[in-house]
Amino acid sequence: SADGELVQYHYGLKDLVTILFYIFIAIILHAVVQEYALDKISRRLHLSKVKHSKFNESGQLVAFHLTSLIWCLYVVVTEGYISNPRSLWENYPHVYLPYQVKFFYLCQLAYWLHALPELYFQKVRKEEIPRQLRCIALYLLHIAGAYLLNLTRLGLILLLLQYLAEFFFHMARLVYFTDENNEKLFNVWAVVFVVTRLFTLTLYILVIGFGLPRVESQALDPERGNFFSFLFNNILFRMSVLLLVCLFQASVMWRFIHFQLRRWREYWHEQSSRKRAAAAGTRQQTKLLKRDSGYHENGVVKAENGTSPRTKKLKSP
């Protein structure tokens, strides 16, 4: 305000009305991106039904992840969460939020909730619905959990890392649909994915293992929003949570390594098949050239014009 007072916000039931409003905004923006960008590109590419569905999914998520990535980076930089990592757990619980942090969380919840009716509007195939529902549920669980349990600062950093990896993955899929021989961006995504997983695991250990146990207020106080600090003061509980986090990240990395090994195996199999086909084509071409050049035909040596190479004797007149 004009006199220098800092206005902060808390969550409440009125947030549901705000989220509902931005769900409609997200549906409109989704339709605009689909009609004026993705449909025009997909018509030129002449994709199959399966690739067309994946192209639309990745196109929408690239637009969303890029916007959210820039927005989230701006928030964490201006609020000082990156320059001062101690702020992630200092003065916990973080009940009162700056306007841009609260607005970011409400928009994130609105987007992932709007993805539910979009499954019907986009006529997603039945085989793809369980996977997309699982993805939507995980995002909603983590975002709503960070928002309601006053872990918004930690949630912002985790979303920043997650959206960075997801952006490169869906961007690589778009490039692959336009040119199936171009898989270089998948290699970039692989490196970014591994780096973000390491940063995520390090952040969990830093906040849960060292940060929250040092919070001054260690008593359970739901009215003040203090839900965790008294639990993390118990070393057994703290180590159990860290073990679960490490196991989860290990399972994610295992699926990633399995996916990469399968992709590389398919790539080398395709390359070897191309080499064998090229070698077979070269041998066939060599045979055709020999036949056309007139070396042998039915066991008789002939010249290039089909006549015998031996000189004929001239009869005397």
**DSSP per-residue codes, 286-304:** HHHHHHHHTS-BTTB---T
Cα(150)–Cα(144) distance, rounded to whole angstroms? Answer: 10
Is residue 310 predicted with pLDDT exceeding 80? no
Contact 96, 10 (CB under 8 A): yes
Question: Which residue is it, tokens 């002939």?
Answer: 302
Cα(97)–Cα(152) distance, rounded to whole angstroms? Answer: 8
3-state secondary structure at position 95: coil
Cα(146)–Cα(155) distance, rounded to whole angstroms? Answer: 6
Residues 6+ apart with CB under 8 A from 128: 53
Q: Over the stretch 130-172, which tens digit does the pLDDT of each residue have?
A: 999 999 999 999 999 999 888 899 999 999 999 999 999 999 9
Q: Is the peptide bond before 93 cis (omega within 30 degrees of 0)?
A: yes
Q: Maximum CA pair distance of the chain?
A: 130
238 or 230: which leads in pLDDT: 238
Q: What is the pTM of this model?
A: 0.80
